[in-house]
């Protein structure tokens, strides 16, 4: 580097310290030594989000947000636009990969107590990010205007219509009319595009809160000296890179060999408001919440339970008052937490089947346990853990 270029870089750095800030936050940033591969899933989610945004821009250029043209524009992309099938497969597969990464990311936070002080804002911004991704994904699911897209949206609209006093008026105002039509589809298209790029800002906020409070670790005990930390680069950039190789292999298998594996065949049929599908089945990542929605006969009750199942996660930092963070050091809580994860998976399976017989009762038992864990088991267990439990955690660290 010549003297003039060095002078220029110093001049820019003095006025806009981008390079030094990047080095401080993403190269020299101190990380605990003992992070396992579950900490890679944040990077997986970021890569999936980037792929979705890039592919989404291309798809938006070829999409027509009208009832008469939406389905045909998707067909045109798949069959006539150069590499359109590939970009759409990347987009569809990316949604599943993103949700898989986010669900594991949240489960890891629950298991290792990453929601506890001083990391409450990391947890809350992460849940806000999850909500925005769910809204964006649901809006995107409607856009192809296939049978499942239309009737899935109809189920949600009918559920919101049951909200007392404001339900029907609010739904009509949001949709631009009484039912799903051109106005509604256009608004959903704008919502999908707007929230997708708004997610970038929430991701930046989430990372900023992480860099202020620092990363949690499997023991749940913060490092006390520099000997217990390593710089982010090259230690965790290489670890994330190795994990990303396997993640992208799975992603590539879905894109090139099984692009339709996670999509229902009925959604390749154009929406027909006069023909109701025999069974309305959501995408797998919405299945747990769809099972909760159908777990009770009341539409309003199902809506309250479904929204509350996410809302209760926001209260976890205050429901769990134990001085111990990691479930590795909480032997009584650990099996209850593992049962919670199994309940979520059970809800997913139940949501993919008709709400009758064993599947209906499975969803009811699973949603009962979901609320039982967060509202009763977790608070009671945390009250029973005292300084002796914290001492147990410290022994485990040694």
14 is catalytic: no
283 is catalytic: yes
Task: Tell me the C-alpha distance between 187 and 268, whole Å.
Answer: 22
Burial class from Cβ neighbours inside 10 Å (0-12, 13-18, 19+) for residue 204 reads exposed
211 is catalytic: yes
211 is in an annotated binding site: yes
Instruction: Find the catalytic residue in 89, 240, 363, 385.
Output: 240
Task: Give the residue from 318, 329, 332, 125 showing the smallest Cα distance to 217.
Answer: 329
Task: Give the residue from 246, 204, 286, 273 showing the smallest Cα distance to 26.
Answer: 204
Instruction: Find the catalytic residue in 186, 211, 233, 328.
Output: 211
Instruction: Find the catalytic residue in 114, 116, 239, 385.
Output: 239
320 is catalytic: no
Task: Tell me the C-alpha distance between 290 and 351, whole Å.
Answer: 6
Burial class from Cβ neighbours inside 10 Å (0-12, 13-18, 19+) for residue 133 reads buried
Instruction: Find the catalytic residue in 283, 309, 320, 343.
Output: 283
186 is in an annotated binding site: no
- Helices then strands, counting H and E runs in the chain, come out as 17, 2
Instruction: Find the catalytic residue in 215, 322, 326, 363.
Output: 215
Task: Tell me the C-alpha distance between 325 and 149, whole Å.
Answer: 41
353 is in an annotated binding site: no
233 is in an annotated binding site: no
73 is catalytic: no
For residues 389 and 323, the answer to whether their CB atoms sit within 8 Å is yes
Which residues, 6 or more positions from 133, have their beta carbon under 8 angstroms from its beta carbon? 98, 99, 102, 199
Binding residues for a ubiquinone are 211
Binding residues are 91, 105, 192, 206, 211
Q: Which residues are catalytic?
A: 211, 215, 239-240, 283
Binding residues for heme b are 91, 105, 192, 206
């Amino acid at each position: 580097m010549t003297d003039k270029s060095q002078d220029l870089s110093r001049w820019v750095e003095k006025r806009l310290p981008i390079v030094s800030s990047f080095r401080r936050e993403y190269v020299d940033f101190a990380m605990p030594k003992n992070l396992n591969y579950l900490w890679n899933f944040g990077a997986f989610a970021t890569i999936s989000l980037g792929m979705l945004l890039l592919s989404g821009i291309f798809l938006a250029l070829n999409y027509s947000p009208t009832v008469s043209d939406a389905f045909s524009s998707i067909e045109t992309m798949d069959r006539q636009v150069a590499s359109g099938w590939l970009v759409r497969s990347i987009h569809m597969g990316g949604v599943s990969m993103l949700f898989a990464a986010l669900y594991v990311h949240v489960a890891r936070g629950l298991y290792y107590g990453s929601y506890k002080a001083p990391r409450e804002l990391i947890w809350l911004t992460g849940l806000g990010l999850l909500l925005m991704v769910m809204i964006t994904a649901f809006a995107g699911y409607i856009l192809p205007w296939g049978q499942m897209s239309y009737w899935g949206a109809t189920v949600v609209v009918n559920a919101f219509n049951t909200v007392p006093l404001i339900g029907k008026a609010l739904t009509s105002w949001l949709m631009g009319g009484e039912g799903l039509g051109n106005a509604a589809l256009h608004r959903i298209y704008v919502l999908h595009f707007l929230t997708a790029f708004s997610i970038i800002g929430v991701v930046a906020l989430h990372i900023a809160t992480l860099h202020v409070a620092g990363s949690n670790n499997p023991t749940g005990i913060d490092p006390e000296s520099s000997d217990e930390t390593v710089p982010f680069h090259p230690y965790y950039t290489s670890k994330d890179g190795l994990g990303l190789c396997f993640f992208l292999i799975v992603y590539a298998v879905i894109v090139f060999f099984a692009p339709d594996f996670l999509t229902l065949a009925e959604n390749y049929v154009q929406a027909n408001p006069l023909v109701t599908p025999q069974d309305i089945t959501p995408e797998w990542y919405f299945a747990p919440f769809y099972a909760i929605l159908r777990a009770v006969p009341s539409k309003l009750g199902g809506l309250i339970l479904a929204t509350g199942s996410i809302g209760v996660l926001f209260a976890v930092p205050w429901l769990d008052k134990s001085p111990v963070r990691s479930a590795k050091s909480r032997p009584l809580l650990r099996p209850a937490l593992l049962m919670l994860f199994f309940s979520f998976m059970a809800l997913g399976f139940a949501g993919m089947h008709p709400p009758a017989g064993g599947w209906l009762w499975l969803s009811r038992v699973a949603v009962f346990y979901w609320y039982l864990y967060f509202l009763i088991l977790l608070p009671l267990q945390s009250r029973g853990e005292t300084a002796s439990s914290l001492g147990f955690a410290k022994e485990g660290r040694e």
